[in-house]
Chain A
Amino acid sequence: MIHESYNVTEENELVKASLDGDKNAFGEIVNRYQKMVARTVKGMLGDTVFAEDIGQEVFINLYYSLPEFRGESKLSTYIQKIAVNLTLNEIKRRKRFFSMFSHKANTEMYEFEIPDHDTEERREASEIVNIALLAMDPKFRIIVTLRMLQGYSTKETAEMLDLPIGTVLSRLSRAQEQLRTILEKL
């Protein structure tokens, strides 16, 4: 659904109108930022119905937290932070759930097995990216997702994750090692 009257509206006007109960204004916010949220959520959780649910939850949380949005940061940053937090919480929740049924509680429960593949056949680019992402440790996966799929710089990634730049830099180098190992198998 595209709301033509809102196509060129500034985001602070959209926020104000949404706070005044304008359903179409909030619809336009969803319309503008759903792709950005999809990249984070689906990059982290894979292309599943659960990712779709988390995506919806991001906008529902946004709606209820809009009164607290003071406009000090961009709306996109605010939404992205909600998406990152909800996605990481979902991964933690899944890890807790799986640890109840497995003796390997302290191992990488979320570790994704790389599917066997005929080496003669070329994998699609999207398949390589998705498999590699899901095979990564979530704390590295989020960094790859934010940089590769959202185009954030190191500083922006640190802000998004509420981490010091030093921590992000160290995770970057460890993520490189892990990604290299995964990509060698693909």
Chain B
Amino acid sequence: MNKMNPSEIKNLMMSSLHQDTDTSEIPIRMEDEGISYNFSEKFEDRVLDKLFSAGLTIKGEVEFVKYMNFAFSRIALTGVAAIVILLISIFLMQGSLSFNSILGISDSYDESIICLLTGN
């Protein structure tokens, strides 16, 4: 088969965009002109390697994430419990849960703070 010249190739490209063209034959004609697309050799092996060796990594990652979630929930629960205990103890000691009580300055007067800070 004679090779197409550039203008024929261009016409073929343009014809693929005509609404009424039967496009089913165009890829075959393109292949005949040496316009073919392939992945490199051993593409299939690389996909399978990625998939099946990645499986182990993914499994490992999933296990790690599960462990982290478990550890996080434990730490978060402990933290919440500590905050609740702290708030209860502040309430019992100060009699309220105001901002000043939490800072521990609820029964201090301005003068006493100045004395405390200046030492006079």
Contacts and interface: CB of A to CB of B under 8 A. Distances in A.
Report the interface size class on chain B: 35 or more
Contact of A143 (B17, B25, B43, B51): B17
Contacts of A39: 27, 37
B59 interface: no
Interface string B1-34: 0011110011011101111000111111010011
Nearest to A153: B23
A110 interface: no
Contacts of B40: 52
B74 interface: no
Contacts of B43: 30, 34, 52, 55-56
Contact of A125 (B3, B26, B42): B3
Report the interface size class on chain A: 35 or more
Chain A interface SS verdict (over half)? helix
A122 B8 CA distance: 13
A124 B4 CA distance: 10
Interface of A: 1, 23, 26-27, 30-31, 34-35, 37-39, 41-43, 47, 52, 55-56, 59-60, 63, 122-126, 128-129, 132, 143-144, 147-154, 169, 172-173, 175-176, 179-180, 183, 186
